[in-house]
């Protein structure tokens, strides 16, 4: 099944939801990040969550999610836009934690104390920024808590990553359901009960259910309007020009230190796609002329 996302709304307008399969997206990114098994599952969940929240954007809007706890992973970052383009990175890709029972110890890898940061470029003068404390460090609950507490939209998320025998990505995907004003307590309770008894997202995808069919399981029928269906893919917009601007922002003093202390060529690696950009000392000197 190719990676894609389906966004729907209930006929009465009281709920909106999205479901996605992100298997290849996650596989591509964790391969670039060289993550171990536990880090793979943790980053895969955040990548899927980013794709789901990204579908709530419009036009050229973008968002960034950052999870930073006191666990061995350090900081995980994901960026997504309204067109299903996603990228992600993790500071320490080797969590070094064994499975906890029959599941990977994502909460231990993230750390029980920390914060979820959310940044959105909505095309306004200033970007929207928010921060909430991690609730469970399992990613899905933390994103749901942010949506419910900061954006005041009661939300439920299911995020899953299943590994194959060799540690490859077998299945990845998830869903997001939100209650919209004015709300209907009875309908919310009924939908919540259906979500509670749902099989894991990876199990449903593994059984061949499409994102649309998963949403039908959540709503108890196919009584919803499909608003959007779009492909999901890894995309990193980094370029040599962007790296040059980043170096210029370091200032003349820092660039001079690069020339004095670093051998030629100076190599700058994009943390997301791992593309290496090389600059010789003469090129660094030219950038110094443009720096403060």
What architecture is domain 240-290? Alpha-Beta Complex (3.90)
- Rounded CA-CA distance 90/171 in Å is 20
* The pLDDT of residue 24: 97
**DSSP calls for 122-185:** -SSSS-EEEEEE-SSSSSHHHHHHHHHHTS---EEEEEEEEE-TTS-EEEEEEEEEEE-TT--H
Mean pLDDT of 180-189: 87
264-286 pLDDT per residue, tens = 888 999 999 999 999 999 998 89
- Rounded CA-CA distance 117/120 in Å is 10
* The pLDDT of residue 221: 74
Mean pLDDT of 121-143: 93
| pLDDT above 70 as % of the chain | 100
* The pLDDT of residue 264: 80
248-269 pLDDT per residue, tens = 998 998 888 888 888 888 899 9
Task: State which CATH number among 3.55.30.10, 1.10.10.10, 3.10.350.10, 3.40.50.1370 fits the domain covering 4-234.
Answer: 3.55.30.10
CATH 3.55.30.10 segments of the chain: 4-234
pLDDT band at 222 (very low <50, low <70, confident <90, very high): low
CATH 3.90.1280.10 segments of the chain: 240-290
69-84 pLDDT per residue, tens = 999 999 999 999 999 9
């Amino acid at each position: 099944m190719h990676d894609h996302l389906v966004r729907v709304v209930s006929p009465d307008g009281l709920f909106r939801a999205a479901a996605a399969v992100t298997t290849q997206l996650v596989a591509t990114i964790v391969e670039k990040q060289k993550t171990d098994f536990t880090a793979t599952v943790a980053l895969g969940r955040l990548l899927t969550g980013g794709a789901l929240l990204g579908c709530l954007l419009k036009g050229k809007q973008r968002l960034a999610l950052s999870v930073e706890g006191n666990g061995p992973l350090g900081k995980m970052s994901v960026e997504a836009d309204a067109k299903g383009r996603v990228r992600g990175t993790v500071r320490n890709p080797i969590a070094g934690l064994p499975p906890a029972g029959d599941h990977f110890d994502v909460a231990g890898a993230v750390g029980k104390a920390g914060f979820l940061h959310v940044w959105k470029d909505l095309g306004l003068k200033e970007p929207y920024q928010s921060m909430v404390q991690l609730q469970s460090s399992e990613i899905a609950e933390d994103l749901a808590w942010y949506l419910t507490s900061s954006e005041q939209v009661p939300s439920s998320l299911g995020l899953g990553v299943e590994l194959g025998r060799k540690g490859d990505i077998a299945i990845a995907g998830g869903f997001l359901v939100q209650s919209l004003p004015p709300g209907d307590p009875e309908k919310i309770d009924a939908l919540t009960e259906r979500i509670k008894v749902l099989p894991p997202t990876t199990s449903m995808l593994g059984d061949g259910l499409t994102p649309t069919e998963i949403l039908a399981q959540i709503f108890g029928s196919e009584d919803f309007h499909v608003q959007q269906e779009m492909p999901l893919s890894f995309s990193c917009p980094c370029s040599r020009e962007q790296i040059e601007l980043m170096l210029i922002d370091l200032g003349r003093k820092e660039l001079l230190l690069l020339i004095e202390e670093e051998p030629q060529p100076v190599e700058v690696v994009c943390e997301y796609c791992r593309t290496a950009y090389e600059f010789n000392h003469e090129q660094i000197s030219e950038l110094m002329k443009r720096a403060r």
